[in-house]
C-alpha cells in the first residue's frame, strides 16, 4: 500500500502521462506495462494480492511518480529558486514518509513460517523424499532454500489431487500438506500406517 503522499504523486503522474500521450507516446507503453503487471501480478494470482510479483513494475511506478516533480521543475513560474526548493522539499518528504512507513511495517516482522518449517524438516527428515501438496509454483521451496539447514534433494510441488493419485506407500515419503483439514484425511486414507501430524494452522505433515 502506498502512503498518501506517494499515492498523490502517482495519481498526478498518471494524469500527466495521459495528458502527454500525444507528445510522448512512450508514456503509453509505461501505462500499459504498469496496468498489465498489476493485472497479471496481483489481480489474477493465487492467492491475491502478491506485491512481490508486481515489483517488476516498481521502476515504472517511480517514473510516473517523478512526472509531477519534473513538471514542477520545468514550470515557467515561480522563480527557479522556489521551484528547486519545492522539488527538494517534496523529495525529502517522500523519502521521510516512506522510510517511516517501512520502519513501522517491519518493526514486528517475523521470519516466514516456511523458514521454520524448512529448518525442522531438513533437520528431522533429511533423507525422505519431500512433497509439497498445494499447487505448482507454491513458494515453500523458495523460502525453505534459505533455511539455516539445507536439504540435499529437491521438493516435488504439485496439486493435492495429482499427489494423491501418484501416492506410493512403499517409498520413504514426507508430505507437507497445505489446507490440512481438507486434505490430511485423504492422504491418511491411502496409508493407514502413515503418521499425520499438525505442524501449524496452515500445514500438516504426513510421513512413514
pLDDT at 61 over 80: yes
Which residues touch 88 (CB under 8 Å, ≥6 apart)? none
Taking the CA atoms of residue 133, residue 139, residue 141 and residue 144 in that order, the dihedral angle to the nearest 10 degrees is -120
Parallel, antiparallel, or unpaired for β 195-198 and 203-207?
antiparallel
Please report, for residues 26, 55, 114, 170, 199, the alpha-carbon distance to residue 61 in angstroms, rounded to integers and kept in the order given: 14, 10, 30, 53, 40
CA distance 17 to 58: 16
| Helices 80-106 & 58-74 angle (0-180, nearest 10) | 150
pLDDT at 111 over 80: no
Which residues touch 75 (CB under 8 Å, ≥6 apart)? 83
* pLDDT of the residue at 48: 66
pLDDT tens string 150-195: 887 889 999 999 999 999 999 999 999 999 999 999 999 999 999 9
pLDDT at 44 over 80: yes
CB 146 within 8 A of CB 114: no
pLDDT at 202 over 90: yes
CA distance 75 to 154: 58
C-alpha cell at 195: 503418521
pLDDT tens string 137-152: 898 888 888 888 888 7
pLDDT at 72 over 70: yes
Kindly list the strands in the beta sheet with 155-159, ordered across the sheet, starting from the edge strand earlier in the chain.
Answer: 155-159, 129-134, 173-178, 203-207, 195-198
Please report, for residues 31, 102, 138, 176, 193, the alpha-carbon distance to residue 189 in angstroms, rounded to integers and kept in the order given: 52, 47, 24, 16, 9
* pLDDT of the residue at 9: 96
Amino acid at each position: 500500500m502506498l502512503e498518501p503522499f506517494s499515492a498523490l504523486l502517482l495519481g498526478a503522474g498518471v494524469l500527466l502521462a495521459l495528458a502527454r500521450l500525444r507528445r510522448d507516446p512512450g508514456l503509453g507503453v509505461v501505462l500499459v506495462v504498469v496496468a498489465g503487471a498489476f493485472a497479471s501480478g496481483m489481480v489474477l494470482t493465487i492467492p491475491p494480492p502478491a506485491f512481490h510479483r508486481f515489483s517488476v513494475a516498481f521502476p515504472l511506478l517511480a517514473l510516473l511518480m517523478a512526472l509531477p516533480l519534473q513538471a514542477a521543475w520545468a514550470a515557467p513560474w515561480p522563480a527557479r529558486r522556489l521551484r528547486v526548493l519545492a522539488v527538494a522539499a517534496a523529495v525529502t518528504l517522500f523519502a521521510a514518509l516512506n522510510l517511516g512507513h517501512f520502519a513501522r511495517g517491519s518493526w514486528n516482522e517475523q521470519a516466514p513460517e516456511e523458514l521454520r518449517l524448512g529448518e525442522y524438516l531438513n533437520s528431522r527428515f533429511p533423507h525422505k523424499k519431500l512433497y509439497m501438496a498445494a499447487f505448482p509454483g507454491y513458494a515453500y521451496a523458495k523460502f525453505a532454500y534459505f533455511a539455516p539447514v539445507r536439504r540435499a534433494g529437491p521438493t516435488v510441488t504439485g496439486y493435492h489431487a495429482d499427489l494423491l493419485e501418484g501416492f506410493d506407500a512403499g517409498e520413504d515419503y514426507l508430505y507437507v500438506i497445505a489446507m490440512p483439514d481438507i486434505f490430511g484425511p485423504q492422504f491418511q486414507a491411502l496409508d493407514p500406517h502413515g503418521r499425520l501430524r499438525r505442524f501449524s494452522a496452515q500445514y500438516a505433515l504426513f510421513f512413514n
